[in-house]
A and B are shown apart, each in its own frame.
Chain A
Amino acid sequence: KAGVTQTPRYLIKTRGQQVTLSCSPISGHRSVSWYQQTPGQGLQFLFEYFSETQRNKGNFPGRFSGRQFSNSRSEMNVSTLELGDSALYLCASSLQAGGGTGELFFGEGSRLTVL
């Protein structure tokens, strides 16, 4: 069974540009969550989608947005990039919409560098 796939793995952008990251969850998983990982900050929750609906959103500015398609694939978009947006963006999928000890399955991440 294929794991969580994120594309692209690495990308470099300049300030003011926008970026779109893609995530394909494990087959059968309907929940997709996004996290931002930076040194010293750990992982910060961005948002979660389940069955094409955003269920939860973290404390990030409106420049960060996402969506989920009918096949459960998800994209996140960051507009008007800032230097502080440089980070590893992790996607995680889950079979259920949360609760219990159900685990998150993570992709390898998309490393974004903003110059």
Chain B
Amino acid sequence: AQTVTQSQPEMSVQEAETVTLSCTYDTSESNYYLFWYKQPPSRQMILVIRQEAYKQQNATENRFSVNFQKAAKSFSLKISDSQLGDTAMYFCAFRTSNTGNQFYFGTGTSLTVIP
């Protein structure tokens, strides 16, 4: 079975501080791709960062970076210098190479940035 677990339903962080959102996944496939999506309140989901499982180097996009531990099937998201606009629901997701555009999502982590 393909599953994604986000064990932190809610988190908060002070503005300008760093926060890490955890995600573990399970798949028997060897070729897959990992994503973090952000869903601001009442707004559409947008891609934050993505990572190919075959790449050992962790992906980075400006203030967002991941810690990908393939053996542990862990894919955490680190947000540095948190900003008020980072307040949102964050979803971890993956898809395999043979499931088309079927993504497997976690249940999300609601992040609040406190001024």
Contact A48 B101 (CB under 8 A): yes
Taking a contact as CB atoms closer than 8 A, the residue among A42, A50, A108 that contacts B100 in the complex is A50
Binary CB contact string for chain B from 11 to 47 against chain A (1 if under 8 A, 0 otherwise): 0000000000000000000000101010000011111
For B93, give the chain A residue with the smallest CB separation. Answer: A43
User: B108 contacts which chain A residues (CB < 8 A)?
Assistant: 42
For A43, give the chain B residue with the smallest CB separation. Answer: B105
Contact B91 A33 (CB under 8 A): no
Residues facing B in A72-106 (CB within 8 A) are 90, 92, 94, 97-104, 106
Contact A43 B35 (CB under 8 A): no
Contact A101 B33 (CB under 8 A): yes
Number of A interface residues in the complex (CB < 8 A)? 31
Residue A41 interfacial (CB < 8 Å): yes
Contact B101 A42 (CB under 8 A): no
Contact B46 A104 (CB under 8 A): no
Residue B64 interfacial (CB < 8 Å): no
Residue A107 interfacial (CB < 8 Å): yes
Contact A101 B100 (CB under 8 A): no
Contact A103 B47 (CB under 8 A): yes
Residue A61 interfacial (CB < 8 Å): no
Residues facing B in A47-81 (CB within 8 A) are 48, 50, 55-56, 58
Contact B101 A97 (CB under 8 A): yes
Residue B99 interfacial (CB < 8 Å): yes
User: B97 contacts which chain A residues (CB < 8 A)?
Assistant: 99-100
> How distant is B52 from chain A, measured CB to nearest CB, in Å?
6
User: A94 contacts which chain B residues (CB < 8 A)?
Assistant: 101
- Residues of chain A whose beta carbon lies under 8 Å from any beta carbon of chain B: 3-4, 31, 33, 35, 40-45, 48, 50, 55-56, 58, 90, 92, 94, 97-104, 106-109
- Residues of chain B whose beta carbon lies under 8 Å from any beta carbon of chain A: 4, 33, 35, 37, 43-47, 50-52, 91, 93, 95, 97, 99-108
